Structure 1
Amino acid sequence: MKTFNLSIILVLCISFGSCSNSNNKSSEKAEKSLSNKKIIGYVAGWKGVDTSLIQAEKLTHINYAFANVVDGLVTEGEGRFDQDKENIEKLHSLKIKNPNLKILISIGGWTWSKGFSDAVLSPESRQVFTNSAIEYLIRHDLDGLDFDWEYPGMQGDGNVYREVDRENFVFMLQSVREALDSLEDISGKYYLSTIASAGFKSYLDVNDLRSAQQYLDFINIMTYDFVGPGTDTTAHHSNLFNPKENGRSAAQAVFDHVEAGVPIEKLVLGIAFYGKSWKNVHPENNGLYQVGEWNRTFPFKEIQTFESQAGFQRFWDDESKAPFLWNSAQKIFLSYEDPESIAAKVDFILQNNLGGAMFWEYNEDSDDKSLLNAIYQNMHKP
């Protein structure tokens, strides 16, 4: 039974004027068929939006990051209302170049997931939370909601978390899905509901993705950050495969999600547009799987310049389908993605009938957009 208050939707539609009729309702519904592969780009709002740099024709969805959860409500980030409004309006203008482009708000993220557990703790609080999410969607005339709760049932960035998050996460998604369906009854437009999920099995162990997925159009798996700060041994951070027993990989994360009850066609594989580095690395095996000190992350636009610098040498790990850079003089090791590793991932997506690819984050690509182009060209190759 639907619990969402339809009168609230009606008031919001009148107030914000955003519930216009769809020109082609059947084409909106077709989104649920997942027949076309998705290319989903996250855009970080705090970096601003320059539409001249966004190749909208190569994207199917943009997830604008982030909305916050404050006092049980989905809201713009503190001090960011005007900036978010302007940025989202700019993103909407990209539909001139790509009328089929979908714009979603991503809610939460690593830093702003602290309010989720409290917000969805009771039926009453979930109702308030749902209302605020729908209000946000209407206020910005969005095509859907992407929930990036990091993580239900797990602490994440010092978050409040509870064992009951497992059930409440599903109840939240059900409440939102029913509200979006009620909004569709009024507007004639289908609205998307998606999540970002973790690329490690312990997340699946404390959550019920089998139940959650029935309320979701697709699930973006964050198949990266397998290693990073706190890791004193170098490794690939976003490798497709892993030859090590019980080693983490993108493929393993996908298969773990399938085992947890998610249809594989609903899964979207994550790609990192940044790399991770270590310093003072032992030189054996060109620095791969060696002891070192965590250094920092680099956007791909910087990594691309390293590839041509004296001292840095690119290596390809064919077992993992991942590149890395090694500087023997400076003892620096850097794990990253490049067009070759992306081609391997897109082949995996196509061969296994995944829903598509997503990436974090658009502004970290090179000026010539070589990573986005690698996704697009391999996704659409003959």
Structure 2
Amino acid sequence: MTWDGKLQFKSDKSKNRILSLNSKAKSAQSDVKVMIGIGGYGNSEHFASVVGNFEKMKVFINNIVTLLEEYNIDGVDFYWRSASEEDKWRYITFVRELRKSLTIRNREKPFLISLTIPAVISSYELAYDLEDSLKDVDFFNVFSMDYYGPWENQWGTPAGPIAPLYNTVPGKNGYCVDSTLNYYVCKTKQPSKFNIVIPFFARLWRHVKEAVKPEKEVIRNVELKDNKAVGDGYMFRWTVQDRKYKISPATWDEESKTSYIYNPVNETYLTFEDEKSINAKIEYVNSMNLGGVGLWTLNMDDDKSSVLNMVFSKELCSKKTQIYVKYHC
């Protein structure tokens, strides 16, 4: 997404990979859909100026529609990272106008629109009026992770699970998947519209010390260096193998439904999803009647697709369950 509302592939290689993926999906005997994603960490800076300007917004919408039609892509996901409360009505208007433009195409299978929305641990959720967006958006991918991370500021401590299913520390009531999903579901009364994220990467802290509380071993204090945590926030699973970090046997925290390994000698803390934590998340999706799960991201798995296989080894009960696979091209 450019400053004037135009769209372009990052590179010819990126374009070829996307079109190849789409071609394979279309030839498969299944109802798999392929969508493009706009926004995210490196491409959200122009959202406010484009959707806040009527002429630029029209250009943006026309370019989205043209791209979807030209390449026979099934829909689009938007991830306006760090949108604020003042962006709310511009975002609603933009999505509504896009839906109108897509609907008049009279396509046999309507184009899909999804939004990636934040975890409820800051004020970013105020940028969304989900009730007003329900009729225009097919589903929401909830960024239900990054509750704890080795960030380069004072928030890099304490160390804790990437995506704890339930809260385990008093005073941090919002820092879990269940709290985030309860917030969104209670606002909309439509749980099937929401997918939770299962992170495929591992997360490492260094200089990790004692537990915050003796009975809460999974949450541990971190010694900051120059006011920054030291570690690796997004470690590919094959990188974990290459660096010879052991992820088994792991310590299981029953309260948060997460696995981790703490090495008191090296003062390292490694957290990741494994079969037990993934099973707990799948059971949660089923019990809450959620739409499904999002996999963040497929290319962060190991060479044997171990995490992907764990997800598919557990039955998702609904016939309409969604598996939303994030894939970086």
Fold shared by both chains (TM-score > 0.5): yes
Mapped to 2, the partners of 1:146 and 1:331 lie a distance apart of: 40
Deviations 1:134-166 (A, max 9, x none): 112123220001111113217xxxxxxxx1x11
Aligned twin of 1:302 = 239
Give the TM-score taking structure 1 as reference length: 0.73
Q: Distance in 2 between matches of 1:194 and 1:338?
A: 27
How far is 1:327 from its partner?
1.7
Q: Percent of aligned pairs with the same residue?
A: 25
Distance 1:142 1:274 in 2: 28
Structure-1 separation of matches of 2:193 and 2:218: 37
Work out the CA distance in 2 between the residues paired with 1:98 and 1:322.
36
Give the drift of 1:170: 0.4
The CA distance in 1 between the partners of 2:142 and 2:29, in whole Å, is 25
Q: 1:76: which partner in 2? A: 9
* Greater Cα shift, 266-275 or 242-251: 242-251
Residue 289 of structure 1 aligns to a residue whose secondary structure is strand
C-alpha contact 2:218 2:260 (8 A) present in aligned 1:
no
> Residue 282 of structure 2 aligns to which amino acid in structure 1?
V
Q: 1:157-178: CA deviations, max 9, x gaps?
A: xxxxxx1x11010011101111
Counterpart code for 1:87: R
Q: 1:206 to 1:70 in 2, by over 3 A?
A: closer
> Equivalent residue of 1:86, what SS?
helix
The alignment status of 1:143 with 2:143, answered yes or no, reads no
Using the TM superposition, give the Cα deviation of residue 90 of structure 1 relative to its aligned residue in structure 2, in angstroms: 1.5
**Cα deviation, residue 367, structure 1:** 2.0
CA separation in 1, counterparts of 2:104 and 2:272? 43
1:109 counterpart letter in structure 2: G
Q: How much has 1:283 moved relative to structure 2? A: 4.1
For residue 7 of structure 2, give the secondary structure of its aligned residue in structure 1. strand
Normalised by the length of structure 2, the TM-score is 0.84
8 Å CA contact retained: 2:92, 2:133: yes
- C-alpha contact 1:196 1:221 (8 A) present in aligned 2: yes
Q: Cα deviations across residues 318-364 of structure 1 (Å, max 9, x unaligned)? A: 10000011122211001211121111000000111000000111111
Equivalent in the alignment of 1:274: 201
1:197 aligns with 2:122: no
Query: Are residue 211 (structure 1) and residue 132 (structure 2) matched?
Result: yes
Given that 2:7 and 2:64 are in contact with CA atoms closer than 8 Å, whether structure 1 keeps it comes out as yes
Equivalents in 2 of 1:349, 1:332: separation in Å? 31
Distance 1:257 1:213 in 2: 12
Moved more, 251-260 or 106-115: 251-260
For residue 182 of structure 1, the aligned residue among 89, 104, 110 is 104
Point out where structure 2 has 5 or more consecutive residues left out of the alignment: 224-228, 319-329
Deviates more, 1:356-365 or 1:96-105: 96-105
Q: Distance in 2 between matches of 1:260 and 1:74?
A: 33
Q: Aligned equivalents of 2:131 and 2:43: distance in 1? A: 25
Structure 1 distance, partners of 2:275, 2:167, is 19
Unpaired stretches in structure 1, ≥5 consecutive residues:
1-67, 155-162
Give 1:125 shift: 2.6
What per-residue deviation string (whole Å, max 9, x for no partner) do you get for residues 292-334 of structure 1? 3331131123335778749x86211110000011122211001
Match of 1:117 among 30, 45, 48: 48
Query: What is the aligned partner in structure 1 of residue 323 from structure 2?
Result: none
Distance in 2 (alpha carbons) for counterparts of 1:288 and 1:97: 44
Counterpart of 2:188 (choices 252, 261, 265) is 261
Structure with the larger RCO, 1 or 2 (CA within 8 Å, 6+ apart): 1
Aligned counterparts of 2:109 and 2:249: Cα–Cα separation in 1 = 51
Equivalenced residue count is 300
Q: Separation in 2 of the partners of 1:196 and 1:381?
A: 23
Query: Considering only aligned residues, what root-mean-square deviation do their CA atoms show, in Å?
Result: 2.3
Matches within 5 A, 1:329-368: 329-368=265-304
SS in 1 for 2:58: helix
